[in-house]
A and B are shown apart, each in its own frame.
Chain A
Amino acid sequence: MFDDFFSRAMIAGIGLALITGPLGCFIVWRRMAYFGDTMAHSALLGVALSFLLNINLTLGVFVVAATVAVALLLLQRRNNLSTDALLGILSHSTLAIGLVMVAFMTWIRVDLMGFLFGDILAVSVWDIALIYGGGIVILGALALMWRPLLAATVSPDVAEAEGLHPEVSRVVFMLLLASVIAIAMKLVGVLLITSLLIIPAATARRLSATPEQMALIAAGLGALAVAGGLFGSLSYDTPSGPSIVVAALALFLVSILVPVKLWRKRRREA
């Protein structure tokens, strides 16, 4: 089943969606969409640095994304600029520096489009192993951190007062996010990663009665979007990454039309 590129893309994409669904719920709940975008954009700087220092690409992207997250936390504490403005500065400057660095490195040929929009049809068996291996670690950590992370999302003050250390869960969450970005970059590209985090989660909201249900439904919807997008891409010869995002958007639009009360009632009784 790993023989043809289409099956590999499907297995890799579904694996990624199963990770981004639950993680994306926290992005939506914590209103961190722009934050996720900033970390994703910084991935291109990670790519450039990896080539420059000749280190593993996934590792380079993870380190840069995590560094940007930490830098933002520190800047938020000291600077008077709003988080919004800080995110805008970091997001675009890391992307721009990455692009400039790549242009300087004339001795290597970099497939920029591949990094910006992903190339899911080029995934190898090794990539699949990374996605599923990394996915088990990421989802395992998320499951372990679930209660403190959720409590910190509802109220950092209550979590702190009741001994759940919201700062720790926040840092762990950012590391998980950096890992997902490092894993996902090759598949959907730095410009589209956040859509896989946010759109399935937002779609799941109207269909869920508990946070746990929302995480599971988001994972399922993400997988559905990957399958739909890839088949669409095959049928209409469209770029695969953007096709997945379009499929996710289509699911979101359909979810708005579902009579919510009927759904929610059934969920609650289940």
Chain B
Amino acid sequence: MDARAPHDIIAEMAGAGVSRDGRWLVEGVDLSIRRGEIVTLIGPNGSGKSTTAKLLTGVLKPDAGTVRRVDGLRVGYVPQRLSIDWTLPLSVKRLMNLTARHSPAEVDAALAAVGIAHLANDDVQHLSGGEFQRALLARAMIRKPDLLVLDEPVQGVDFSGEVALYDLIKQIRDETHCGVLLISHDLHVVMAETDTVICLNGHVCCRGNPESVARSPEYLKLFGTRAAATLAIYQHHHDHTHLPDGRVQEADGRVVEAHEHVHEHEGHHHDHQH
């Protein structure tokens, strides 16, 4: 299906897991990102999406399995949460130069691309949630990264802004051919350009290709075909429940350890209901 050579892989993990206080936050994750590929992680709260992203960027070290990045990989990272103390006077412009210096022209271009050029001199503490997300995205993309890791980049952004930002992410990918790991804040909505969707729930529940996913009529009716070109609905029904202690309750009521639990839709077999 995809003829790109394996050396195109810029970051990958195999059987990777992170444990804290004897509990696995996430375990057994296999994931690889190639140049120009968009991988989207979805899953409920606490399913280990952010942990997986931090594993891939090297913020967290795996307690099991391996994580590998190509040498000299330039990462642009938008974290899920970032609070900047009021005591730090930081303008939007200055935020762009946080981890490396960029020319004023580059800064202007990045801010214009996310639509907040008029806020360049404002303090970041005064931005609205959506404006701040745009600023963070601009900061990550100005680095011209090889790998862009976006943890819920459109949180707090209104719907039309969300479509615009997804368009922008696609544009960045097309122009710079970077790999993108995107964490969706919405379990059911992913970018249509996504090459691989991975559903996490403490482990990889399933993975799929959203182009094979039919689009929901309700969704088209609600947001129109313009939005549908950018966003896709990806839904599936779980046949099992994850218990708070990390074990899994199967549909027939059996309770098993997570690693004993087998997903029927694992691999490349898709029978999701849409």
- Which A residues lie at the B interface, using CB under 8 A? 28-29, 31, 147, 150-151, 153-155, 157-164, 201-202, 205, 208-211, 213-214, 268
- Which B residues lie at the A interface, using CB under 8 A? 54, 57-59, 74-77, 79, 82, 84-85, 87-91, 94-95, 98-101, 121, 143, 149
A29 close to B57 (CB less than 8 A): no
Smallest CB-CB A-B distances: 6 pairs: A161-B57, A161-B77, A162-B99, A29-B88, A160-B59, A208-B89
> A153 to chain B: which residues have CB within 8 Å?
88
**Number of inter-chain CB pairs below 8 Å:** 71
Q: Counting chain B CB atoms within 10 Å of each CB, which of A150, A153, A161 scores highest?
A: A161
B143 close to A162 (CB less than 8 A): yes
B99 close to A157 (CB less than 8 A): no
Q: Counting chain B CB atoms within 10 Å of each CB, which of A31, A151, A157, A214 scores highest?
A: A157
CA distance A218 to B98 in the complex (A): 21
> A201 to chain B: which residues have CB within 8 Å?
87
Q: Which residue of B lies closest to A159 (CB)?
A: B99
The one of B54, B59, B85 in contact with A29, judged by C-beta atoms closer than 8 angstroms, is B85
The one of A157, A210, A214 in contact with B77, judged by C-beta atoms closer than 8 angstroms, is A157
A157 close to B79 (CB less than 8 A): yes
Q: Counting chain A CB atoms within 10 Å of each CB, which of B59, B75, B85, B149 scores highest?
A: B59
> B77 to chain A: which residues have CB within 8 Å?
157-158, 161-162
B88 close to A211 (CB less than 8 A): yes
CA distance A151 to B149 in the complex (A): 17
Q: Which residue of A lies closest to B88 (CB)?
A: A29
What distance in Å separates the Cβ of A183 from its nearest Cβ neighbour in chain B?
A: 25
What distance in Å separates the Cβ of A81 from its nearest Cβ neighbour in chain B?
A: 15
Other A-B contacts than A162-B74, A213-B89, 9 sampled, CB-CB below 8 A, are A154-B90, A157-B54, A157-B57, A157-B77, A157-B79, A158-B79, A162-B99, A201-B87, A210-B89
What distance in Å separates the Cβ of A245 from its nearest Cβ neighbour in chain B?
A: 20
CA distance A208 to B90 in the complex (A): 9
